[in-house]
């Protein structure tokens, strides 16, 4: 009987591994070539989001392309030092599904490098590093029947010892610190203590699953409470590591483990609720293989398919003319072997099946609010997101982080027939390899900066009148200038950039060459445009975006932009006013507090403190309300999570 259908009684699993009996490769994969199908272990019907048959066919084709790409080459062995399995384990599992020669399964059971040291008390199995834990769960619960019986028993016995009591900060025999490093030799714990949101989820879901599996009921109960509290907080303040290009998929994978393998139905409902929220949050920013800003922990990825978020979301949402052939992360195998599919309304949201243009307002929480269960936390960021017919522009009132920060505060995605979407990156800084967040480094962003946005208009100021400005855009984007305005021509979208107290934006051959010669750059095939402030108290940019539906042609858009009126009379006080040719007014009044920034839209000041997790016609979630609703393409999804973590769908 599949383990997912067994009664949720932890005491059942006391003496032997209880993986899905008889679940072998012929159950996991059927068909061949274009008709290949990858199967999940069954889940209760109440936990399934219904999909049309054609969506499932598309999903299976995408899954097959990923498995084929990952199974193409198999390197000898696996590096099991610390957390180095975080990529290889996922690839090995994909190779097994791809019909490998047996070595992948052998490598998946390789004795860990620290089996006699760090993992002596857990039967030599690595239950420490969070990135390893994520894969260990799917290896045990999904692929368990393929493992050697002695190895599977070893995993069970190690897990039973590991969860006999809470492994978090449990004194470890290998502790010899404190010292630099993240292993138990440096941190006195039986499990990785790092608590970025993605690592937190890898840890708490894995401890829960193995405590439940091995009958350690006290630990299972403790971590069940932790998981339900996380779900309750998520639905009140959102994701602390919000919309991360680099980590979104790494948070999804452990939630899939919980959804697929937990025995307790309340825990599985909470896992589904979390996945529904993560997929909805991803659908707001994902578009045609790209991922728009603003973002937390962006790691300066070019688009499309830049980083964990667009890679993982493409598995569910597709909507790209070609897809991707290589360079995958290691988490896609979790999605491919999971029964979870996002709600139909969320898929329609990702595929823009709603009336456009549409504007969305959102709040974002402090980084640790969700993982520390601070359901009463106040918002830290205010976001504006505008969906045009062929582009998407997003910003934070607080702009891009300064020294040591990790937030990218402005970005544009534009439709591209061949590449899906192209991303236009910009920053008040001088390093062309880092046009997004400073990624914890100093000197990458000139000074504090603020953005006011109204639909397709944005005013961006930096509190440094001599600041450099950079735009990093694909080489295929056309660049021209007229009347002191620089124009960017995309496939069916046009962007006008007018400097405010700065030189005009121009293609910078030296910076473009610097970017091309930087072996660590994430932006191959891109060109750099630069400008420099005149030296006053502030300088900045006015950005206006047009498209066929609003202007008809690039010539008409250019004429309209050149007819706009700009008032720079109070620039030294951080005040700029812009009047577009269509009569739309936008003003920015500097404030050191981003949530008190003066954003004046058509003569009225926007109240930045009257927002929500999401506020738009198509996705709504009140701040602190524990409720999410998505409507798109004729479908509606609703979920309510109580303060105690109780989940109700469709109410």
Residue-wise pLDDT tens digits, 241-276: 999 999 999 999 999 999 999 999 999 999 999 999
DSSP string, 30-88: ES-GGG-EE-PPP--GGGPPP--HHHHHHHHHHHHHHHHHHTS---SS---STTTHHHH
| pLDDT reported for residue 17 | 39
**What is the per-residue pLDDT for 304?**
96
N-terminal to C-terminal alpha carbon distance within the chain: 32
* Greatest extent of the chain over all pairs of C-alpha atoms, in Å: 78
List the chain residues with pLDDT less than 70: 1-21
Phi, psi of 453 (to 5 degrees): -130, 140
Tell me how many helices (H) and strands (E) the chain has. Answer: 16, 30
102: alpha, beta or left? (left if phi > 0; alpha if psi -120 to 50): left
Contact 228, 645 (CB under 8 A): yes
Q: What is the DSSP code (8-state) at residue 21?
A: T
Rg (C-alpha) for the chain, rounded Å, is: 25
CA separation, residue 467 to residues 26, 369, 402, 427 (Å): 61, 33, 13, 10
Rounded CA-CA distance 343/359 in Å is 22
Token pair 């205010």 in the structure block, residue: 382
pLDDT at 327: 87
Give the C-alpha distances (Å, rounded to integers) separating 524 from 314, 383, 505. Answer: 21, 29, 21
d(CA 544, CA 489): 12
pTM (two decimals) = 0.96
**Burial 244-259, CB ≥16 within 10 A → b, else e:** bbbbbbbbbbbbbbbb
Half-sphere exposure of 438 (CA within 13 A, CB side): 19
Report which of 261, 263, 254 is spatially closest to residue 230, judged by C-alpha positions.
Answer: 254
pLDDT at site 7: 30
Find out whether 352 and 286 touch, Cβ atoms under 8 Å. no
pLDDT, residue 235, reads 98
């Amino acid at each position: 009987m599949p383990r997912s259908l067994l009664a949720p009684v932890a005491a059942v699993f006391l003496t032997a591994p209880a993986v899905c009996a008889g679940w072998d490769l012929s159950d996991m994969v059927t068909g061949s070539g274009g008709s290949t199908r990858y199967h999940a272990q069954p889940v209760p019907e109440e936990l399934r989001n219904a999909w049309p048959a054609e969506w499932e066919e598309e999903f299976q084709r995408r899954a097959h392309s990923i498995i084929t790409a990952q199974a193409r080459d198999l390197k000898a062995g696996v590096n099991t030092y610390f957390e180095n399995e975080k990529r290889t384990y996922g690839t090995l599992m994909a190779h097994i599904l791809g019909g490998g020669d047996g070595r992948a399964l052998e490598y998946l059971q390789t004795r860990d490098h620290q089996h006699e040291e760090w993992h002596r008390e857990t039967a030599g199995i690595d239950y420490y590093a969070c990135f390893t834990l994520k894969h260990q769960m799917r290896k045990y619960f999904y692929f368990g029947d393929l493992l050697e019986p002695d190895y599977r028993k070893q995993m069970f016995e190690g897990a039973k010892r590991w969860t006999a009591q809470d492994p978090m900060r449990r004194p470890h025999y290998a502790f010899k610190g404190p010292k630099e490093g993240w292993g138990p030799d440096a941190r006195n714990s039986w499990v990785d203590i790092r608590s970025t949101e993605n690592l937190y989820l890898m840890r708490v879901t894995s401890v829960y699953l193995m405590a439940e599996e091995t009958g350690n009921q006290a630990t299972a109960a403790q971590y069940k409470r932790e998981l339900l509290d996380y779900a309750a907080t998520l639905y009140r303040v959102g994701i602390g590591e919000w919309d991360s290009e680099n980590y979104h998929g790494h948070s999804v994978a452990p939630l899939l483990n919980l959804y697929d393998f937990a025995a307790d139905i309340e825990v599985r409902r909470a896992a589904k609720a979390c996945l529904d929220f993560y997929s909805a949050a991803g659908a707001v920013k994902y578009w045609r293989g790209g991922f728009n800003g603003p973002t937390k922990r962006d790691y300066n990825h070019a688009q499309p398919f830049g980083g964990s978020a667009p890679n993982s979301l493409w598995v569910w949402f597709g909507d790209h003319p070609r897809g991707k052939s290589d360079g995958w992360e290691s988490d896609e195998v979790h999605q491919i072997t999971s029964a979870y599919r996002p709600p139909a309304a969320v898929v329609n949201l990702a595929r823009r099946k709603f009336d456009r243009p549409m504007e969305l307002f959102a709040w974002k929480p402090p980084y640790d609010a969700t993982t520390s269960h601070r359901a009463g936390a106040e918002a830290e960021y205010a976001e504006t997101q505008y969906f045009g017919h062929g582009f998407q522009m997003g910003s934070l009132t607080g702009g891009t982080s300064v020294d040591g920060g990790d937030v990218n505060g402005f970005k544009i995605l534009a439709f591209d027939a061949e590449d899906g979407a192209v991303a236009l990156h910009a920053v008040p800084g001088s390093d062309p390899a880092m046009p997004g967040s400073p990624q914890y480094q100093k000197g990458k962003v000139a000074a504090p900066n603020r953005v006011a946005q109204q639909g397709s208009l944005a005013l961006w100021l930096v509190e440094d009148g001599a600041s450099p400005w950079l735009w990093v855009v694909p080489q295929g984007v056309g660049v021209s200038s007229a009347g002191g305005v620089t124009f960017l021509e995309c496939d069916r979208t046009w962007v006008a950039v007018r400097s405010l107290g700065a030189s005009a934006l121009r293609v910078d051959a030296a910076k473009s060459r610097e970017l091309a010669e930087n072996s660590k750059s994430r932006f191959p095939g891109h060109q750099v445009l630069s400008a420099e402030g005149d030296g006053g108290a502030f300088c900045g940019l006015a950005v206006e975006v047009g498209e066929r539906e609003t202007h008809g042609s690039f010539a008409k858009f250019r004429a309209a932009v050149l007819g706009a009126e700009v008032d720079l009379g109070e620039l030294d006080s951080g005040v700029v006013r812009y009047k577009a040719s269509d009569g739309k007014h936008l003003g920015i009044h500097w404030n050191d507090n981003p949530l008190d920034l003066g954003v004046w839209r058509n003569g009225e000041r926007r109240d930045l403190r009257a927002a929500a997790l999401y506020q738009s016609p198509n996705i709504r979630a009140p701040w602190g309300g524990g409720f999410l609703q998505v409507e798109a393409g004729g479908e509606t999804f609703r979920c309510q999570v109580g303060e105690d973590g109780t989940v109700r769908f469709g109410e």
